[in-house]
Structure 1
Amino acid sequence: MNDSYLKFVNSPFGARLARSLGLPKPEVLRRYRGDRPEFDGLIAIGAGHEPRLFDALAKLVASIGMTSVAHESAGLWVPLANRHGLMTGRFEAAEAGSSGKLAALLFDASGIEDSSHLEPLYGFFHDTLRSLGQCGRIVVLGRPPEACASSRQWTAQRALEGLTRSLGKEARRGITANLVYVEEGAESTESGIDATLRFFLSPRSAYVSGQVVRIVQSSAQSGTQGGAGGAHVGGGTSALAVDWAQPLAGRRALVTGAARGIGAAIASVLAAEGAHVIGLDMPSARDALAATLRPLNGTALAFDIAAPEAPAQIAAALDEQGVDIVVHNAGITKDKTIAKMSEAAWQSVLDINLGAQERIDDALLAGGILRDRGRIVAVSSISGIAGNLGQTNYATSKAGVIGRVQSMAPRLRARGITINAVAPGFIETQMTAKIPLTIREAGRRMNSMSQGGQPVDVAQTIAWLAQPGSAGISGQVVRVCGQSLIGA
């Protein structure tokens, strides 16, 4: 579905008219394309009191081929910058090259232990934010507040959330801002920061902003994961032989509701990253499912997930080779206010959107069909976070998905299996195309990007959570909503 307003105000005539009338002009977001460089440009790196992640940041930036300059916002860490050959000083726009614009801003706040240490954040972002280019990236790194040794450290680290979310709303121009809390020591383990930083610095995260992600050390020790892309050598993510072009090579992924829309986009992105995709959908969608999976060299399964026998059928179909990734995307809506809603409409939405996930996972986990160190990613919704008029059944089911993720994560930790959810906001699909025009326009504009997302935005986020390098992320919900003003 096309956003006519977005297209118009980004045309030569429309842009002039928007400027003269003072109309909002949403940015055309830069999304990942295989025929363009994923990373380029200059990154400005800043740090606060005694940064602990600077070495890992500098190595990551060098590995993706971007150029970095260190901002002299705290003199104590200048020797670290010098060790990596970075120039330091008060940042000036001219340093960003011919365009005068930066591609990204990174700030290491991991050493901040007191509110009096927050001052360098002002100095860094005050100097650099206006030099950040269109569709630029902001990433702040800190320590999980709940793991802090003192209440003052907890306080200071928690303050980073307000800063990061505000930066996302101030920056505009398609710029995203996200916060990554890294548990002490996790940066040098298999669950490290590479996969997450690559995602947040990439065009793949075009519609993900205002999010807080926690990375902890995964409990599963390194070893060989059968059928999933070779040996994993101990010592950290840097020791893994990762093909970042195809990080899911050798893995098998089950995607429910894969025939069309967001499900088809998920299947396509996972396949592009190397996974063999097993797409599942209703028997009535058999032809559409085959059309989606055929160019991906995937496997089609036609089952009704609401049927009592479906979990056993799915398990039997996957049993011989097992599966490494399960994506619960299938879902329905039957919208009415609860006073006018039939019992059947209530029950069917909860059964398909929530109960089917529970039953399928029970079958795959009990039979060992979802292998150790596997990934479960469920599709929730902003409605499950904030509620929505006329969607009590849908919002209940999607909030239940979040509950599943949070409750199951500790139970699956011993097997090295992660479980997370994505919560899309307004995504341009056939479903949202049926929404009345005025409500549809409100849904598009009520976020920091002032536009709806695309199915590929959800798919790219799921692919990141499915990667081996995301082993330290579990029990979390990542909104794909352009930093929605609802439920933010």
Structure 2
Amino acid sequence: MKDRYLGFVNSPFGTSIARTLGLPKPEVLRRHRADQPEFGGMATIGAGPSPVLFDAILGVLSAVGMTGVAHDSAPGWLPVAARHGAMSGRFEPRSRDAAPADRVHALIFDATGIAESGELHAAYAFFHDAMRSVARSGRIVVFGRAPSCSANPRTATAQRALEGLVRSLGKEARNGITANLVQIDDGADIDATLRFFLSPRSAYVSGQVVHIAAAGDVIPADWSRALAGKRALVTGAARGIGASIAAVLAQHGAIVTGLDTEAARDALDQTMLSIEDLSPSNGAHAALLADIAMPEAAAEIAMALAAAGGIDIVVHNAGITRDKTIARMSGELWDSVIDVNLSAQERIDDALLAQNVLRAGGRIIAVSSISGIAGNRGQTNYATSKAGVIGRVLSMAPVLKASDIAINAVAPGFIETQMTARMPFGVREAGRRLNSMGQGGLPVDVAETVAWLANPGSAGITGNVLRVCGQSLLGA
């Protein structure tokens, strides 16, 4: 459903009215478009004491065609840039009124060396100088360490403080600017993650914390087709978020099997035909009909995928809602939601793993919800199932690591779909506005996040839950 308020306040007449009446004016987010450059412009680099990522950051910026300019907090940046023969310079603050061409696209702060709370002043100095210089739909990325892996309590304390910093920056920045924290272990590869957070593909992901461990990441030969040769299963693929996930994975090069029920046959066929038109695969994209609530479905799905040569990516998107307060909810409504949204995922993965259908180096990506984080009135069954999905990701990550399989979850907030279009007006508007972006997300926002987690360069990301919610106030 179209967000009429967003369109109105960004029209010439609406902009004037919004300014006169003091109405909020959400930014029209810059999302990935094939006819527009994905990257470009300048990134301002800052750092605390003893940064370790300058070479890695410079490598990514050079590869995507961005120029890094050094803030006073990062005196080591210019020697690194000179050693690599990269164009660079010193950062000069810009005002909010500066021309778009004079603004920086991104702020990148290396906080990996911050070892105690007094050293957090370097972060203050950097963002105090640089925040007003960020262009609309710009990006803020802070690199730190996982507090649990810190050498001592003082370091863990300072590193945990970065979460509050980043989430506050996301709420202060406005204008479609996102802010995210990436916690790295020694030897972790940041390439895929920094590309994602710098790109318009992450337009609705803000205020998030990602942990990257050292792993056998594979750098794609072609980042625009990073999933080339991979086979993916997407459940609930007939429409909405599932259809968008299937399409985006195919655009990134994956061969997609879209799964849905017999009742959704026509919609699923249409989705798979449209994917074939966008990303031809000589008929390798396929539709698979199954009711995942049936006990025998998991074995049948595993058999079908094994016959096709196995699978590399499993996206558990299928889900249902049966809303009532728990006092009015029947046992049948409770059981059906838990079974489809949670238990079916367990059965399917068990079957795929038992028969070695999910190959080593594979990815499992589950779609949870911010309802599973914050709860929701009238959705005790749904929130319970989605919280269970998060619990499953956290508990299965160390188990699957031995098989070189990563498992993560995305937790969408308010996404513009047919389901949310049926909400009462007041509830729908509240869902759209109660986040830092002041608007609902689109199915493609969830899909692009799934594609990043499926990327071969994201092997070190496992056991993470990423909210795709525009930094919603719910559960924050």
Shorter-chain TM-score range: over 0.9
The equivalent position to 1:260 in structure 2, one of 235, 239, 258, is 239
Deviations along 1:91-112, one digit per CA (max 9) or x if unpaired, are: 2329x98722111110111111
Are 1:61 and 1:68, in contact at CA under 8 Å, matched by a contact in 2? yes
Partner of 1:339: 327
Q: 1:293 to 1:74 in 2, by over 3 A?
A: closer
Instruction: Find the residue that maps to 1:363 and give its secondary structure.
Output: helix
Partner of 1:402: 390
Instruction: Find the residue that maps to 1:374 and give its secondary structure.
Output: strand
| Within-5 A mapping of 1:387-398 | 387-398=375-386
| Within-5 A mapping of 1:270-349 | 270-297=249-276, 298-320=285-307, 321-349=309-337
| Within-5 A mapping of 1:135-284 | 135-186=137-188, 192-218=189-215, 240-284=219-263
Partner of 1:35: 35
Are 1:81 and 1:88, in contact at CA under 8 Å, matched by a contact in 2? no
Q: How many angstroms does 1:75 deviate by? A: 4.0
- Which letter does structure 2 place at the counterpart of 1:92? P
Partner of 1:366: 354
Are 2:9 and 2:18, in contact at CA under 8 Å, matched by a contact in 1? yes
1:154 & 1:241 partners in 2: Cα distance? 34
Question: Which region of structure 1 is more displaced relative to structure 2, 379-388 or 60-69?
Answer: 60-69
Percent identity of equivalent pairs: 66
Q: 1:112 to 1:81 in 2, by over 3 A?
A: farther
- Which letter does structure 2 place at the counterpart of 1:294? L
Detail structure 1 runs of 4+ shifted over 3 Å in the superposition.
74-90
Partner of 2:130: 128
- Which letter does structure 1 place at the counterpart of 2:53? L
Deviations along 1:228-257, one digit per CA (max 9) or x if unpaired, are: xxxxxxxx65xx452101000000000000
2:15 & 2:119 partners in 1: Cα distance? 43
1:372 & 1:452 partners in 2: Cα distance? 36
Are 2:131 and 2:173, in contact at CA under 8 Å, matched by a contact in 1? yes
Q: How many angstroms does 1:11 deviate by? A: 0.5
2:108 & 2:61 partners in 1: Cα distance? 10
- Which letter does structure 2 place at the counterpart of 1:26? P
Q: Which runs of 5+ in 2 are unaligned?
A: 277-284
- Which letter does structure 1 place at the counterpart of 2:286? T
Are 1:47 and 1:77, in contact at CA under 8 Å, matched by a contact in 2? no
Partner of 1:353: 341
Partner of 1:230: none
- Which letter does structure 2 place at the counterpart of 1:252? R
Q: How many angstroms does 1:87 deviate by? A: 4.3
- Which letter does structure 2 place at the counterpart of 1:196? T
Instruction: Find the residue that maps to 1:39 and give its secondary structure.
Output: coil
Partner of 2:282: none
- Which letter does structure 2 place at the counterpart of 1:335? D
Partner of 1:226: none
Aligned length: 464
| Within-5 A mapping of 1:422-441 | 422-441=410-429
| Within-5 A mapping of 1:39-50 | 39-50=39-50
TM-score, scaled relative to structure 1: 0.93
1:331 & 1:418 partners in 2: Cα distance? 22
Superposed CA RMSD in Å reads 1.4
Are 2:69 and 2:91, in contact at CA under 8 Å, matched by a contact in 1? no
Q: Is residue 2:110 matched to residue 1:108?
A: yes
Partner of 2:279: none
Q: 1:382 to 1:463 in 2, by over 3 A?
A: same
Deviations along 1:29-81, one digit per CA (max 9) or x if unpaired, are: 00001111000111111111010111100111011111111111154665435
Q: How many angstroms does 1:83 deviate by? A: 3.2
Instruction: Find the residue that maps to 2:225 and give its secondary structure.
Output: coil
2:286 & 2:106 partners in 1: Cα distance? 39
Are 1:51 and 1:77, in contact at CA under 8 Å, matched by a contact in 2? no
1:199 & 1:12 partners in 2: Cα distance? 32
Are 2:45 and 2:74, in contact at CA under 8 Å, matched by a contact in 1? no
| Within-5 A mapping of 1:42-61 | 42-61=42-61
Are 2:341 and 2:386, in contact at CA under 8 Å, matched by a contact in 1? yes
Are 1:326 and 1:376, in contact at CA under 8 Å, matched by a contact in 2? yes
Are 2:78 and 2:88, in contact at CA under 8 Å, matched by a contact in 1? no
Q: 1:214 to 1:426 in 2, by over 3 A?
A: same
Are 1:8 and 1:14, in contact at CA under 8 Å, matched by a contact in 2? yes
